[in-house]
Structure formats: structure tokens, C-alpha cells
Amino acid sequence: YNCSSNYRRCKRKGVFAMHVEKYNKGASKRILAHVKRERETVTESSIDWSKTKLNRDIVPPMSSEQLEQVSKLAKRKDAVTLVSTILTLPAELKYSSRLTQEKFFKVASKAIHKHIGGTLAYATVHNDETTPHLHLGIIPMTPDGRLCAKEVCNRKIRDSFFSSITTMITILPIY
């Protein structure tokens, strides 16, 4: 279930990719399983399972039961229950220390969550694939407690978000 996706490149400070996608109840469970590395599947062939121990949780993933509780708030069966963001490590940080890379992902996850809002479901760094990247999951919860992706992550918010995250990445103190 793909409502939206975007990739952006930052020309001033190397290349990175960012992807935002919205998921309904069933797809949210599959993404959560991927983030937690709960099962091996053919589609996850790029994973080096011997390096999975190098993955780090910035914010531990919520349980499947917690995600199920969130799904019960949805008024429609196909309602968006998760906004997933993937942010790759900029090219010039590829050979930097793990500490520098983790600092980058921590600062970026805070900035993304602050910009989008909602409830943070997980923030996990995967180091077991070709390019280290951050998985950030946000429950599109409005301040008044409703589940509404249109208010939390609409096109206008996403577009301003891509501009601000690119700016934020270029001025990070780790550069």
C-alpha cells in the first residue's frame, strides 16, 4: 500500500536518499517485522544476517500488540496507521566512525519526528545492508488523539519537510 514516496538528494553535502511512505494496518505489521528483523524472506536478500547484531535502536520498536491497539483507533479498514521514513547515511559519512554515524541518525530522527509530529513507533538504524540507513516509524496521531495521516503528513507538510531536512543535514555539527 503506497500512498506516497519521495527521494531527495542533497547536492552541497554529499548524496543521501530519503523515502516517506504511508501504510495501512496489514502493511504496518510487515514493516515492523522488517525493522525488527523478525523473519527472513526472499525480498530481504540484501540483508547480511551476520551483521544484524550491528543494528541499533534509537527508539525501540513498539510491539505488534501496541500496533494492533493503534489500528483499532482507525475508522476505516484501509486507514493509514503508520508513516514510515527511511533516511540513508550521506556518502561522505560512510567511512566515519560508528559514533559519528549514530550521532547523525539520532539528530536526524529527532528532526524528522519534530517536523512530522505524531507518535514515534520506532527509530532503528540498520547496519546490516549495503548502505546504513535509519528506519523511522510515526503513528499519524493528531494532537486531539485522532488517527489522521492527511493532517499529520500531507503533501504540503512532506514538501516542506524535505526542504528542512536537507537544510538540517547540511548544517549538522558532525560535518
Give the model confidence (pLDDT) of 146-169 as tens digits. Answer: 887 777 776 666 667 667 766 766
Q: Mean pLDDT over residues 124-141, rounded?
A: 90
Question: Cα–Cα distance between 94 and 108 in angstroms, integer?
Answer: 16
The tens digit of pLDDT for each residue in 63-101 reads: 888 888 888 887 787 888 888 888 888 877 888 888 888
Cell of 165: 531536512
Question: Cα–Cα distance between 149 and 151 in angstroms, integer?
Answer: 5
Question: Cα–Cα distance between 159 and 145 in angstroms, integer?
Answer: 24
DSSP per residue over 105-120, as a string? HHHHHHHHHHHH-SEE
- Decide if pLDDT at 5 tops 60: no
- Amino acid letter, residue 150: K
Q: For a pLDDT cut of 90, what percent of the chain falls above it?
A: 12
pTM: 0.81
pLDDT of residue 129: 87
